[in-house]
């Protein structure tokens, strides 16, 4: 039986993603990638000083590192990268489909974050850290107009990229519909919304919640807003001021869990 076109396209996207490689850098990012059994690791470059700090995890990983002179660190990194003498080439992680990643586990009431055109890798890295701390099942973003898996993102995530699913999908609205079909309540953060996150989830703490955040400035696209079940805001003390998207994600996750 011939596979539907959408199934073929999804498989092609996943194969292309799996084939892509990225250079991670920094002691924390490299250490956690070396410890991740789901990472395909290709090449490790370290200075003598970095090797001494990572020796145990390098040995456990089974990799043979290239020891390089700190003055001639030749890994293909941006010249501004703070690599701390460690760089690791890896294949991108494949977390599998939304349906598997976003299912409840161990009696947990799941939370998911969706990012609409959030392109700054430092913001996404910080969001991954918050998602891990507050137990989100996944962070989901579109392939286009989002931050890809890069060394800068991994360094900001400080290891969370290895443990927190980061799914990049072809169409964000379709991903939202998939989550809604799984029972998720879809809440889009919008500064002019009438109700707060806490008010929207009051009495619904047993229901899966998906929080949708847009880029700073433009916010959520119209199609994204229309796909939400409701628009919500973060309760602020005054009329002025705003949070950047990574801080807003952390506050919204906390509010959705504790209302």
Write the CATH number for 36: 3.30.1330
Domains: count for the chain: 2
The band of 104, judged by pLDDT with boundaries at 50, 70 and 90, is confident
Q: Please answer whether residues 249 and 127 qualify as being in contact, where contact means their C-beta atoms are separated by less than 8 angstroms.
A: yes
Query: Which residue among 91, 115, 130 closes a domain?
Result: 91
> What is the pLDDT averaged over residues 66-71?
89
Same domain, yes or no, for 102 and 87? no
| Residue 4, in any domain of the structure | no
Q: Pick the residue with more confidence: 172 or 80?
A: 172
Instruction: Answer yes or no: do 78 and 109 share one domain.
Output: no
Domain-terminating residue out of 50, 66, 91: 91
pLDDT at 71 over 90: no
Does a structural domain hold residue 79? Answer: yes
Q: Are 219 and 191 in contact (CB under 8 A)?
A: yes
Report d(CA 69, CA 102) in Å as an integer.
44
**Has residue 7 got a pLDDT over 80?**
no
Provide the pairing of β-strand 86-91 with 21-25: antiparallel
- The pLDDT tens digits of the residues spanning 29-64 come to 999 999 999 999 999 999 999 999 999 999 999 999
CATH number (domain holding residue 129): 3.40.1280.10
Q: Which two tokens stand for residue 214?
A: 């847009």
H/E segment holding residue 225: helix 222-227
Q: Is residue 200 part of a domain?
A: yes
pLDDT-derived band at 241, boundaries 50, 70, 90: low
Strands (E), 2-50: 21-25, 41-46
Q: Give the HSE-up count for residue 72: Cα atoms under 13 Å, Cβ half-sphere.
A: 4
Domain that holds residue 81: 21-91
Token output for 219: 């916010």
Q: What is the CA radius of gyration of the chain?
A: 20
Residue 13 lies in a domain: no
Q: Are residues 69 and 192 in the same domain?
A: no
The pLDDT tens digits for 179-234 are: 999 999 999 999 888 899 989 988 777 889 999 999 877 789 999 999 999 999 98
pLDDT bin (cut points 50, 70, 90) of residue 78 is confident
Of 36, 68, 91, the domain-final residue: 91
For residue 89, the tally of other CB atoms under 10 A from its CB is 18
Q: According to the model, what pLDDT value does residue 89 have?
A: 96
Reported confidence tier of residue 4, pLDDT bands at 50, 70, 90: low
Specify whether 119 is located in the same domain as 195: yes
**Segments in 36-171 forming alpha helices (H):** 48-61, 98-101, 121-133, 151-157
CA quadruple 230, 234, 239, 242: dihedral, nearest 10: -110
Considering the domain architecture, whether residues 198 and 117 belong to the same structural domain is answered as: yes
- Per the prediction, the chain carries an average pLDDT of 88
| Whether residue 209 is found in the same domain as residue 129 | yes
pLDDT at 16: 46
Q: Does residue 115 sit within a domain?
A: yes
Whether 158 maps to a domain, the answer reads yes
The pLDDT value recorded for residue 54 is 96
Choose between 203 and 65: higher pLDDT: 65
Q: What pLDDT shows up at residue 17?
A: 47
> How far is 111 from 208, CA to CA, in rounded Å?
6
The DSSP-derived string for 133-185 is: HTT-SEEEEESTTS--S-HHHHHHHTTGGGTS-EEEES-HHHHHHHHHHTT-E
């Amino acid at each position: 039986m011939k596979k539907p076109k959408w199934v073929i396209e999804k498989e092609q996207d996943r194969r292309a993603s799996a084939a892509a490689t990225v250079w991670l850098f920094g002691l924390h990012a490299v250490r956690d990638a070396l410890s991740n059994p789901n990472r395909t690791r290709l090449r490790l470059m370290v200075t003598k000083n970095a090797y001494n700090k990572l020796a145990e995890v390098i040995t456990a990983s089974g990799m043979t590192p290239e020891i390089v002179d700190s003055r001639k660190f030749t890994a293909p990194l941006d010249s501004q990268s703070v690599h701390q003498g460690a760089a690791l080439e890896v294949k991108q992680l494949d977390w599998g489909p939304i349906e598997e990643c976003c299912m409840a586990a161990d009696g947990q009431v799941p939370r998911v974050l969706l990012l609409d055109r959030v392109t700054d890798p430092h913001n996404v890295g910080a969001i991954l850290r918050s998602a891990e701390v507050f137990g989100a099942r996944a962070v989901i973003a579109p392939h286009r107009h989002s931050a890809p898996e890069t060394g800068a993102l991994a360094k900001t995530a400080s290891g969370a990229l290895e443990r927190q699913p980061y799914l990049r999908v072809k169409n964000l609205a379709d991903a939202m519909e998939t989550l809604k079909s799984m029972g998720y309540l879809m809440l889009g953060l919008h500064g002019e919304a009438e109700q707060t996150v806490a008010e929207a989830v009051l009495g619904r703490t047993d229901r899966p919640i998906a929080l949708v955040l847009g880029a700073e400035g433009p916010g959520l696209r119209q199609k994204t807003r229309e796909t939400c079940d409701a628009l919500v805001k973060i309760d602020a003390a005054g009329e002025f001021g705003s949070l950047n998207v990574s801080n807003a994600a952390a506050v919204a996750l906390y509010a959705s869990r504790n209302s």
